[in-house]
Structure 1
Amino acid sequence: MQSRFLHIDDTRTWDAFRDGNQAAFAHIYQAYFQLLYNYGRKFSSDDALIGDTLQQLFTELWQRRKRLGSTNQIRNYLYKSFRRALLKGLAKHAKSDASTDSLSFSIYLSYEARLIQQQHTEEQVAGLQQAIAQLTEKQREVVYLKFYDGLTYAEISDVMEITSAQAHDYMYKALKALRKNIKNNDNYSKANTTAFILFFVCNLLLLL
């Protein structure tokens, strides 16, 4: 059954949740759980930790609902809260596991990207994936939030707790690095290098 909050703005939905409306809380949970999980998977492959962090987040939200402030951007509020909680958990986990890779933000070309043989060769896709791997974690995260989740730079700065100028800078340097890392690749022509990068960032950021 479709949630009656589907077409209600974030401010009223959040206020209803804060007032104890269980339907509003269920709508928020169902609308954002998977998105948050996908975001968490970019930081770590530890499904148990991600799941536990999400469950704890929503449990605490319900328990503390009367003390929460208002918001007109539920997604950003949840992303910021989840990111902070997950990074805290990953940092704690890393102290007890020297081999953990939990603090590495990863993005991969989608399965669909590997099927576009008529537009780009397998070598081109592999080359771009290698170039992506050379970006910093912050650069990859900004690219993901901007082009996969559609956040504005102001929203990205809020979620990542950086300035808007820093968010712009990470994106600029990420795209510059991608161009630099692949421009000398024999599988690309000068004409299609930038086009291919933009095709990637606009269409090919998918889940792990």
Structure 2
Amino acid sequence: MIDSKNNLCEEHYFSNFYLEHLQSASNFAYYKCGDNAKSLDLVQDAFSKIWENCSKIEFTKAKTYLFTSINNMFLNTIKHNKVVMDYAKAAPYIDQDNQSPEYLLEEEEFKVKLQNAIALLTDGQREVFLLNRIEGKKYREIAVLLDLSQKAVEKRMSAALKTLKQHIENI
């Protein structure tokens, strides 16, 4: 039997671990920070950290280490992320589909309304909302992932939907 403490240091095991957890880690990071580029940075930094510390991490605890690393890096850079998100919201829309100007204007206005409404959600509400509506996870799965009760998840989702409904017309 191979020592489970050293599995991650072997390229084959690390590669399999990476491929198995890349999508869920990317989604988790995105739901934490709400920015695609930053979430990819968080995920790559977390995997790099695991590779650098592979001899210290038990293979059975690597997934927990991955998600904890992503969460901790997010918390350490939250102020910077808010500046980046504000900049991303202010960036102009680039017409790649050659849509009519009226359509593009309406789309941009809705996009801004949606981003502003999601920004009004608390971190917990945004996380639960995106995990459920984008990722398609059930409340029970979200509760396990976030270490909350299912009732807490339901309460956050209810509050998130109420806030979004108040701030977005015709949704």
Residue identity in the other structure for 1:33: L
TM-score when scaled to structure 1? Answer: 0.53
Equivalent-residue separation in structure 2 for 1:39 and 1:125 (angstroms) = 22
> Which residue matches 2:131?
145
Residue identity in the other structure for 1:27: N
For residues 147-186 of structure 1, what are the structure 2 equivalents within 5 Å?
A: 147-182=133-168, 185=169
Q: 1:124 to 1:46 in 2, by over 3 A?
A: closer
From 44, 49, 56, give the equivalent of 1:51: 44
> Which residue matches 1:32?
21
For residues 1-208 of structure 1, what are the structure 2 equivalents within 5 Å?
A: 20=7, 25-41=14-30, 42-43=32-33, 45=38, 48-57=41-50, 64-65=57-58, 68=60, 78=63, 81-92=65-76, 100-102=79-81, 121-122=106-107, 123-182=109-168, 185=169, 188=170, 193=171
TM-score when scaled to structure 2? Answer: 0.61
Note the alpha carbon deviations across 1:14-63, whole angstroms, 9 max, x for none: xx995959756533311322441343244273765542222223665675
Give unpaired runs (5+ residues) of structure 1: 1-15, 70-76, 95-99, 194-208
Equivalent-residue separation in structure 1 for 2:42 and 2:153 (angstroms) = 27
Equivalent-residue separation in structure 2 for 1:139 and 1:167 (angstroms) = 8
Identity within the alignment, %? 21
Equivalent-residue separation in structure 1 for 2:18 and 2:3 (angstroms) = 11
Note the alpha carbon deviations across 1:60-103, whole angstroms, 9 max, x for none: 5675446x37xxxxxxx83x543322232344457xxxxx3348
Residue-pair matches, total: 150
Structure 1 residue 153: deviation in Å? 1.4
Superposed CA RMSD in Å reads: 4.1
SS of match in other structure, 2:135 = coil
Structure showing the higher helix proportion among its residues: 2
Q: Is the 8 A contact 1:17 1:65 kept in 2?
A: no
Give unpaired runs (5+ residues) of structure 2: none
Q: Is the 8 A contact 2:29 2:42 kept in 1?
A: no
Q: 1:81 to 1:166 in 2, by over 3 A?
A: farther
Equivalent-residue separation in structure 2 for 1:103 and 1:87 (angstroms) = 15
